[in-house]
Amino acid sequence: MEKGSISIYFVQSALEPVIERGLDADALLIDAGISPGLLQSPQGRVTAQNFSALWLGVARVLDDELFGQDSRRMKVGSFAMLCQILIHCDTLKSALQRMTRFFNLILDDFHCSLDIGARHAWLTIRETPGPKAPRVFGYETLLMLQHGLACWLIGRRIPILAAAFAYPEPSRSAEYHLMYSENLRFNDSATSLEFDRSYLELPVIQNERTVKEFVRVAPANIVLKYKNSSGLAAQIRRRLRTAARSDWPDFNTFAASLHMTASTLRRRLDDEGQSFQDIKDQLRRDMAIDSLCHTAKSMTDIAEELGFAEASAFQRAFKKWTGSSPGEYRQRMHKH
């Protein structure tokens, strides 16, 4: 799985039902390798590995794989049972129809459907009328589970053409471009992911053997693995990751390596709401967070690996990205 990072807002959202029930949120954070102090950093981020561990911890203490986001619990083991059911479908279409029926059986506040048009199809989630309106995090978690499952069933990522949300744009919406699509709509009549209808005819390729491994490492295998990876920004990120930081080319050289003019590359990145510098900064940030959390490397060594001429330049950049210095960040992560 790519070593990306997750906004602290998702950590806070996952913990809300734990705190509301008076349970020990700090213990869950520490068990997941996340310092409770990091919650005080609005720009803080955690590794996908740490977030996945927290996901499992919260699900365990609540006995709810949807984090208390529905009036009825999605008991631990529900996701594994769903996976077992879906591998016996012939096509993605029949699997998604079965998946939506499954969710509608076990949840009260959300109604899921697969809507099919002439060229496009939609995984749609609507609010079921009732006294308790679903939280945004409930929609986010359901979408992550449903899209991740759909991609896994056919063994490839299903590009999302557009994503609509039945709620106002949240503060963490910048994450949505990586999670879903560049084409986002908010305050819509329903929450939905739109994709090409042709994917529905693809065969389900998973079986009894592969489902065991998939369930064993879930949810780490869907938190980032099936994020939006078809865009130009994602392609650039992958190319940069494989090169030594000292070998990262300048913008014009990189454009030429893609057989584009600099103006064409700039325009296409603008269309995705990105810039070359943004991509490099996000990649350096995620790699720095991974090193600070999971290695004992010195600041000088990390700075050098990330292509900074000196540690002080790395420290200034990291504080700009996350709101804290690398030393403070590492201290918070390891301060139990």
Query: In tens digits, what is the pLDDT along the chain, a chain of 336 residues?
Result: 345 678 888 899 999 999 999 999 999 999 998 888 888 877 788 887 888 899 999 999 999 999 999 999 999 999 999 999 999 999 999 999 999 999 999 999 999 999 999 999 999 999 998 777 788 999 999 999 999 999 899 988 888 999 999 999 988 787 887 788 889 999 999 999 999 999 999 999 999 999 998 888 777 677 655 444 556 777 788 788 877 666 788 889 888 988 899 999 988 887 666 788 888 888 888 888 888 878 889 999 998 888 888 888 898 888 888 777 888 878 776 655
User: The pTM is what?
Assistant: 0.70
One domain for residues 239 and 121: no
Q: Is cis: bond before 36, omega within 30 of 0?
A: no
State residue 320's pLDDT score. 82
Q: Are residues 321 and 252 in the same domain?
A: yes
Inter-residue contact 145 to 164 (CB < 8 Å): no
Side by side, the strands of the sheet bearing 191-196 are: 110-116, 120-127, 191-196, 162-164, 184-185
Q: Identify the CATH number of the domain in which residue 321 sits.
A: 1.10.10.60
Question: Containing domain of residue 171, as a range?
Answer: 78-217
* Cβ neighbours for 307, distance < 8 A, ≥ 6 positions apart: 245, 246, 248, 284
* Whether residue 101 sits in one domain with residue 190: yes
Distances (CA, A) of 81 to 30, 220, 264, 305: 29, 18, 48, 43
Residues 99 and 65 in one domain: no
| Rounded Cα–Cα distance for residues 203 and 214 (Å) | 18
Considering the domain boundaries, does residue 227 fall inside one? no
Q: What are phi and psi of 122, to 5 degrees?
A: -135, 130
Are 213 and 83 members of one domain?
yes
Count of domains for the chain: 3
CA atoms within 13 A on the CB side of 247: 6
What pLDDT sits at residue 61?
96
CB atoms within 10 A of CB 171: 9
pLDDT attached to residue 223: 66
Predicted local confidence at residue 224, as pLDDT:
56
Domain identity same for 96 and 125:
yes
Task: Determine the pLDDT at residue 248.
Answer: 82
Give the pLDDT score at 47: 82
Instruction: Verify that 209 and 136 share a domain, yes or no.
Output: yes
3-state secondary structure of 114: strand
